[in-house]
Structure 1
């Protein structure tokens, strides 16, 4: 059985993109951070992605300039290309990467089965699709790559609900980013 991991790069105030949809200027990992990402993603067998995240990540297979920009980038591209990918989208008509399936809706039972059948970790990337998995109690772990920036608004990392978390790992990088890894604790009734 795999572990379902929600993993994103996040501003200090909790956004994965600013109000204009921009993130590349402040969430770009350097080689040290990419090495840590590669280490973690080497255990991923399946990526679950929303449409926007898929279109962002597809460059790791379709754009040689991105793939070849550094040794760590090349390694990440190889990891991403060999993994299975499932894209959830009502608007995307086709996918253009290998090992990729398209679904028109998020089915929690199907995702639970993917997780049960997984030979490695399953990551869910993109806050919209991750919110569905979180609300259905499917996410086992949340990995945050905290970026040293406050953007003031935009696309939120987490949905509006309570999650109890247990810190399992923290690592600081020279560029000011911090990697945090939390296990999601089973939900419980909160007394008033």
Structure 2
């Protein structure tokens, strides 16, 4: 059975974007990017909300070549090789290969996918992840905490959610970012 992993780059106060929707403060440096790439190698399918998909579809046509940083080319290759499912009521077609659009998040369908998959799933987008957290589908949480407080915006975790977690890894990066990895206790 595959795991469903929720990964986010957050501010210290728990936001994935500030009140203006900006998240440039979370852009990983080369060291963090290389670590993220290694974490993503086992992902076979990405589950996205439409807004995050709109951001991530950049990787479908991201420039590759000797002039581009190796970590970016590596991530683009990983992203293109994975399947993507986008949950959206407004998107009419996908703008990337290996991608399908679903109108609604069906927890039972995702559970069945997890049960039959050989590779892990990654879920992203605060609203979509909230559905998965509440349905008890998330197996692992990976946080990359940036050394910034933004004071408001889009929260990573939903309100009124209680989960017991077990810390299984932590790492501090030279640029100040901290990675925390948790397994969800059942």
TM-score, scaled relative to structure 2:
0.96
* Contact 2:62/2:76 (8 A) holds in 1: no
Which whole-Å CA distance do the structure 2 matches of 1:70 and 1:63 have between them?
A: 11
Bigger shift: 110-119 or 49-58? 110-119
String of CA shifts for 1:165-187, please: whole Å, max 9, x gaps.
1100001101100111001112x
Q: How far apart, in 1, do the equivalents of 2:118 and 2:178 lie?
A: 28
Report the Cα offset of residue 64 of structure 1: 2.1
| Alignment size in residue pairs | 185
Q: Which runs of 5+ in 2 are unaligned?
A: none
Task: Give TM-score scaled by structure 1 length.
Answer: 0.93
What are the Cα deviations for residues 72-119 of structure 1, in whole angstroms up to 9, with x where unaligned? 000000000000000000011111101001000000011101111222
Q: How much has 1:62 moved relative to structure 2?
A: 2.4
Question: Does the 8 Å CA contact 2:6/2:140 hold for their aligned counterparts?
Answer: yes
> What is the aligned partner in structure 2 of residue 140 from structure 1?
139
Which aligned runs of 4 or more in structure 1 are off by greater than 4 angstroms? none
Residue matched to 1:95: 94
Partner of 1:7: 7
Residue in structure 2 matched with residue 118 of structure 1 by the alignment: 117
Rounded Cα–Cα distance in structure 1 between residues aligned with 2:88 and 2:100? 11
CA contact (8 A) 1:143 1:180 kept: yes
Which whole-Å deviations, capped at 9, do the CAs of 1:30-86 have from their partners, x for residues lacking one?
A: 111011101010010000000001010000012327xx6310000000000000000
8 Å contact kept, 2:63–2:73: no
